[in-house]
Amino acid sequence: MSEPKRLHPVAVLLNILKSIKELVVPFVLVIVIPGRNEGIPGWVQPLAISVIVLFLIIHAFLQWLRFTYRMEDGEFRIESGVFVRKKRYIKLDRIHSIDISQGIIQRIFRLVKVNIETAGGTQADAVLSAIGKRDAGRINAFISTEKNKTAIDVPEMEKDRHSRHEGAVEASSVYKQTLPQLVAMAATSGAVGVFLSGAIAFISQFDEIIPFDRIFKNYEAFIGMGTIILTAFAIVGLLAVYVLATVSMVMKYASFTVMKTGEELIISRGLLEKRQLTIPIHKIQGIRVIENLVRKPLGFATVYLEYAGGSVEDKESLTIMLFPFIKKKLLQAKLGEMLPAYQTISEMTPIPKRALSRYVFRKAVFIIPIIGVLSWFFKPWGFLSLILFPLGIFWAYMEYKDAAWNIDGDLLLLSHRLFSKQTLIMQRSRIQAICYKRSWFQSRKGLATISASIKSGVHARIGLVMDVEEEDCRTIESWYLPKKTVDSR
């Protein structure tokens, strides 16, 4: 498959839509906002617009004409550009993920969009906006077979170990999320908050267009009916938003499936917009387990993959769910099937008891002033803020209880809690740097804050535990020191 290929002609349409989207803001600024200009004859505006549109269409067509892709010499090669010719050659074993998605337009024509990503950047490295499904399948297969070839050729420690793992579990394992699970996940996801703020932002945009004043004047009588009915309406409204958020989340993650085929994980999901992401297992940087406020008491968790691919432009490519909603008890077993390198069953080491007072202190430092101010200025209702105190202590206690670390072979686990509990599972060979800090208060108690960073998307993902025994920091540090990496070579 080395002859240059073009995208499907629908790409022309997509190009036009994309440039229109990019031009909306300047268009509004230049043409709509100034309104009718007295000096300029009336025919200038339509002419200008039609010239621009014609130019867009021609440009989109040329873009399509000039865009070719091919695969040769272990590289994925793209040549593109109308005025400036661009050649982009991506080494296949530098590819971190292949993201296949289907928007509405692609769906109509039974096409797919393919994003090929290398380690994090502001935009995807190669975007094939519209190609046939069969072509996409072929690209995917070609890249993975090519990669397996290199994996065998180059006896690199990493790949070697993984391919041995794969040898043991050749039969691909599958993880599916059932619909009830998905609904439960969406209902406990806290997506409502995002949705709600989005809705508020949206409505406030139309504040000036929709005559709220007039509407509400007519309903003055209605408002007069009293707070109970208003509250009822508010609750119904909130409920509606909640249901909407849940439904949209379910649609986004509908038929969520993770498949393991040899060297790769394939994650597919979506109802309206289908997405399929292929990640080579040896490019995975770490695993993040999140247990949020609602899910933790129920014993459920969400598991994310940390990988160096993904682009800032496409936010969804930055956080990849491995298991959206999984029972904590089943987690390790499932992880063992999918990513045996990240399986760990040993207990976490808790932080020492004397750390508890540090956690309480940290909360008290900002809660006491708040209580003080509220109680002073809003007597007598301000005294209600005293409730914050036991709440804060409880919160501190939860944080203390969930702070833990563990070393298991080549894995480092760090978990801490702010609202949700985050556990980061990292392989030694993936940790970019480890640091530990101690403030004056901490060193007096022989405690320290340890953190480890791995590469995730464009930036770093940091796992940290506050107030670990200082001795333990030393242990982690000496575990991390690369002497063993050298030995194993």
Partner 1 sequence: MELENRISNKALTVWKISGLIGSSITWIICIAIFTLTVFFEWTYWVFGGVVILSIIQSYLTIFLMPSVKWKRWRYEVRNTEIDIQSGIFVIKRTLIPMIRVQHVETKQGPLLRKYDLASVEISTAATMHVIPALDLAEADELRHYISRMASVEEEDV
Residues that bind partner 1 (CB under 8 A): 119, 156, 158, 282-283, 285, 308, 429, 431-440, 443, 453-456, 459-461, 477, 480-483, 485-486
CB of 96 to partner 1, least distance (A): 8
What is the rounded distance in angstroms from the CA atom of residue 39 to the CA atom of residue 49?
18
What is the rounded distance in angstroms from the CA atom of residue 292 to the CA atom of residue 328?
12
Alpha helices in 154-226 (DSSP H): 157-168, 179-187, 191-205, 212-218, 220-224
Residue with Cβ nearer partner 1 (397 or 480) = 480
What is the rounded distance in angstroms from the CA atom of residue 381 to the CA atom of residue 162?
62
Residue with Cβ nearer partner 1 (71 or 119) = 119
Look up residue 311 and give its DSSP letter. Answer: B
CB of 460 to partner 1, least distance (A): 3
Residue with Cβ nearer partner 1 (165 or 327) = 165
What's the CA angle centered on 100, arms 110 and 265, to 5 degrees?
135
How far the first Cα of the chain sits from its last, in Å, is: 36
Residue with Cβ nearer partner 1 (282 or 363) = 282
What DSSP string runs through 66-133? H-EEEEETTEEEEEE-SSS-EEEEEEGGG--EEEEEE-HHHHHTTEEEEEEE-S-BSS-SEEEEEEEH
Contact 8, 111 (CB under 8 A): yes
CB of 489 to partner 1, least distance (A): 8
CB of 222 to partner 1, least distance (A): 50
Residue with Cβ nearer partner 1 (7 or 431) = 431
Residue with Cβ nearer partner 1 (315 or 437) = 437
Task: Say if residue 380 is preceded by a cis peptide, omega within 30 of 0.
Answer: yes
What's the CA angle centered on 480, arms 447 and 456, to 5 degrees?
95
Residue with Cβ nearer partner 1 (91 or 107) = 91
Tokens of 247: 């439904």
CB of 477 to partner 1, least distance (A): 6
CB of 481 to partner 1, least distance (A): 6
CB of 283 to partner 1, least distance (A): 7
Look up residue 53 and give its DSSP letter. Answer: H
CB of 74 to partner 1, least distance (A): 15
Residue with Cβ nearer partner 1 (378 or 441) = 441
Q: Which residues contact 166 (CB under 8 A, 6 or more apart)?
A: 262, 263, 281
Tokens of 182: 């998905």
CB of 93 to partner 1, least distance (A): 8
What is the rounded distance in angstroms from the CA atom of residue 133 to the CA atom of residue 116?
15
Residue with Cβ nearer partner 1 (133 or 459) = 459
CB of 91 to partner 1, least distance (A): 11
Integer angstrom CA distances of residue 446 from 363, 375, 440, 471: 20, 36, 10, 8
Residue with Cβ nearer partner 1 (332 or 432) = 432
